[in-house]
Amino acid sequence: MSEAAALPRVSPQPAVATEGRPVRWVLTALAIGFLALFLVLPLITVFAQAFAKGWDAYRAAFDEPDARSAIRLTLTVAAIAVPFNLVFGVAASWAIAKFEFVGKNLLVTLIDLPFSVSPVVSGLIYVLLFGAQGLLGPWLLANDIQIIFALPGIVLATIFVTFPFVARQLIPLMQEQGNAEEEAALTLGASGWHVFRTVTLPNIRWALLYSVLLCNARAMGEFGAVAVVSGHIRGLTNTIPLHVEILYNEYNFVASFAVASVLASLALVTLVIKSGLEWRYSDELAAGARRH
């Protein structure tokens, strides 16, 4: 045996790209500057303007009946839209990840549709369907059913723009986990619902909570689709974003920024919980990968 053949074969190590310290400092400074300019500074501006005339002026912005109505309507819409998207997202992701069926690719395409359609266009579609001059408008008027410029239309528009959030978060995870644990449980005699409740659901709980959080934040902050179907009726169909727009257009800056601080606070809370869930969720994914 030759000396070359006797030597152990060493697999080549991938080259590791290292940058000099000046380059790292410049890239870090650019990243921090970008975050400060587009994230931190706007948040500071919102709260600074909200409290520009003191606490009494800030509190007075929420004593207005229109502001309270906007907050109440926003919470109501989110309370309806988020559970609906939760049920649909879990069902769709379970079907797509665990089964093969005719129309599966079409279902995936439809789930992604709100990402490619402008919210304003989606709101306009609902107006063309359910408006007084729309396709179903005469029948709705004849039966005294109001969808556009009322709560049902706002809920429908919000559901449309937010329903991909749950499904799109769960589908890759469920596909990565595979069917081994569910098949083992079925082999042992467990029912389908028992398998879902005791096997599937615990495996996706952190991703599910993460997706619901994002869905709720988008539902409460949606503007474009809701603006089209709401009619901007003060005290009746204005959500928080629409109420902020009206106050700002009326040059009532303190009140507009005060109400906007509610959404800004929601964004901050969402960011904190999102970071915590991402940390916890990454550990769950790593454990799942080791199991499978």
* Distant-in-sequence, close-in-space partners of 186: CB < 8 Å, separation ≥ 6: 192, 195
Q: What are the pLDDT digits (tens) for 108-149? A: 999 999 988 999 999 999 999 999 888 999 999 999 999 999
Query: Which region among 141-155, 175-189, 216-230 has the lowest average model confidence (pLDDT)?
Result: 175-189
Which has more confidence, 11 or 237?
Answer: 237
In one-letter notation, the amino acid at residue 262 is V
Exposure letters 87-110 (e unless 16+ CB within 10 A, then b): ebbbebbbbbbbeeeeeeeeeeee
Name the strand (E) or helix (H) holding 131.
none
Closest CA to 76 of 259, 275, 236, 185: 236
Q: pLDDT category, 282, cuts 50, 70, 90? A: low
Please check whether residue 122 is in contact with residue 225, taking contact to mean a CB–CB distance below 8 angstroms.
yes
Task: Look over the chain and give the mean of its residue pLDDT values, rounded to a whole number.
Answer: 86
The residue whose two tokens read 């539902």 is 219
DSSP for residue 149: T
Q: pLDDT category, 14, cuts 50, 70, 90? A: low
Dist. CA 233–CA 257, nearest whole Å? 20
Q: At what angle do helices 253-291 and 65-98 cross, to 10 degrees?
A: 20
Q: pLDDT category, 266, cuts 50, 70, 90? A: confident
Q: pLDDT category, 243, cuts 50, 70, 90? A: very high
Dist. CA 210–CA 208, nearest whole Å? 5
Q: Is residue 290's pLDDT more than 50?
A: no
Question: So what's the pLDDT on residue 57?
Answer: 92
Q: What are the pLDDT digits (tens) for 146-163? A: 999 999 999 999 999 998
**pTM, two decimal places:** 0.82
Question: So what's the pLDDT on residue 228?
Answer: 94
Dist. CA 261–CA 70, nearest whole Å? 14
Kindly state the tokens that stand for 164: 């991909």
Helices (H), 131-236: 137-142, 151-162, 164-177, 180-187, 192-195, 201-221, 224-230
Burial status of residue 270 (CB atoms within 10 A of its CB: 0-12, 13-18, 19 or more)? middle
Closest CA to 214 of 259, 256, 267, 261: 267
